[in-house]
Amino acid sequence: MLCPKCNNFNDPEVKFCIFCGTSLEKIIPVAFGSTPSISKKGRPTKWLFLGLILLVFLLVGILLIWIIKKPIESRLAGQKESACEKVWQEILSEKGRDYSLCLKDFSAVSDCKKPAGIEGLAENVNILVILDSSGSMAQKLSGERKIDVAKEVIKNFIDIIPDNANAGLIVYGHKGSNLEKDKALSCAGIEEIYSLGNINKQEFKAKIETFQSKGWTPIASALLAARNVLEQKQARENVNLIYLVSDGEETCGGNPIEAVKEIKQLGTDVMVNVIGFGVDDVAQRQLLEIAQAGEGEYFSAKTTDEMRKIFGDYAKYIKELETYETCLAKAITQQAWQDINKLTSLNFCLVNKHGPEGVGLMWSLNSLQKEGDECAYYVSEEIGKRDKVITELVENTRETAISQTQENRQKLIKSLEEAQELIESQTKK
């Protein structure tokens, strides 16, 4: 019989525990080896509670260890990665190649200089010449009559302007005389000898021989007449060039500067150029102011040779344009050979750097693997990344170079075609 107090077994016939003296009369006998009934207040319940507490402490300890261990592992991993990055950089500095040495300048190289011609002559342009045919133009300069020289240079100028240009001729001072009695007639005698429109060069040159120098100098009225002509020809839609050739100042009481301002109201693409032919200082000042108000240029021709040179400069421009065309044709061939050589050099350089670099890097990786170096995997990953970047670099560099060479060629061809068209438009007769 089990004693409830000391948990010792006693003979079933005894009434008191032989170990502690506790009464056993109300205890149900239990066979030896059977499972005893345990009181809820007994020791097994206490041990179970203590076991649970120990389990909680164990779990908390494991959690604390994990929390402490994680940053340590991260630090160690970071230190390892830093050490392996250093190893990789050392390998790269020894085995890597500098691809920037392969890069070439594929920009177009051409020393062909396009000549600066008269603005707008390649466009849809109105060219209106105003010629002074007053009495003073009959005077001789360097042994030649000024009016004869003026007509000569204007005819030469007409020969070389574009066929698609509109040209016209306004004359003043060719009526009456320079006497006081004829002043009113002469000052009012402004005439459009050749109407502004599609030019017939032979007809224009014939018309310029139909008048002589006689009267006064109504510059302002001539400029206003030019304004009216341009307005009828839709000046706002074209480039408009006025060339005033005169050997003196206004003598009919008009205001040339105000007249030019009215011309400028037609639009921004109107330019008044003035050629002063053997003028004195007073006349030159007025003619210069006219050119400035008209946003054009003033040319001073003190001699017949200077007069011819002013208009002859345009013929020189044509020759320069032809030289430019020849230069461009040669440049296209030279650029093609130059680009081929650069592309060949680029390919050779890239191949001779990419291949040996890959071999060198793999050799270093094999050495690390044989030594069991813990950085071998890291270096292997970096080699893969490096190879991908360099492969893309090589491909992109080639594509960019080829694209640039094609663009260079197209630019030169376009410039050549424009030059050819410009020459054709300005030299056809």
Render 42-65 in DSSP notation, one character per residue.
Answer: SHHHHHHHHHHHHHHHHHHHHHHH
Q: Are residues 11 and 68 in the same domain?
A: no
> Is residue 416 within 8 Å of 329, Cβ to Cβ?
yes
Does residue 113 belong to any structural domain of this protein? no
Task: Determine the structural domain holding residue 423 and report its residue range.
Answer: 99-106+324-427
- Statement to judge: residues 153 and 277 lie in one domain: yes
**Same domain, yes or no: 23 and 63:** no
Position 120 in a domain = no
CA triple 147-153-157, angle to 5 deg:
140
| Structural domains of the chain, count | 4
| Residues 82 and 155 occupy one common structural domain | no
In this structure, what CATH number is given to the domain that contains residue 165?
A: 3.40.50.410
CA 215/CA 178 separation, integer angstroms: 4
CA–CA dist 378, 88 (Å, integer): 8
Assess whether 27 and 14 both reside in one domain: yes
* Residues 386, 256 share a domain: no
What is the dihedral angle through the alpha carbons of 63, 64, 68, 73, rounded to the nearest 10 degrees?
Answer: -20
Residue 385 lies in a domain: yes
- Average confidence (pLDDT) per 10 residues, the chain, 429 residues: 69 68 61 46 61 77 63 51 84 85 71 58 73 94 91 86 81 93 95 92 92 94 94 74 93 95 83 92 94 90 84 65 77 81 83 86 87 85 87 83 82 77 55
Q: Which residues of 297-336 are buried (b: 16+ CB within 10 A; e: fewer)?
A: ebbbbeebebbeebbeebeebbeebeebbebbbebbeebe
**350 and 99 Cβ atoms separated by less than 8 Å:** yes
Total Cβ atoms within 10 A of residue 100: 6
Asked whether residue 80 falls in the same domain as residue 154, the answer is no
CA distance 351 to 337: 21
Is 118 contained in some domain?
Answer: no
Within 101-233, strands assigned E span 125-132, 140-141, 144-145, 166-172, 191-198
| Residue-level pLDDT at 125 | 75
Specify whether 209 is located in the same domain as 251. yes
Indicate whether 234 and 147 sit together in one domain: yes
Same-domain pairing of 147 and 278? yes
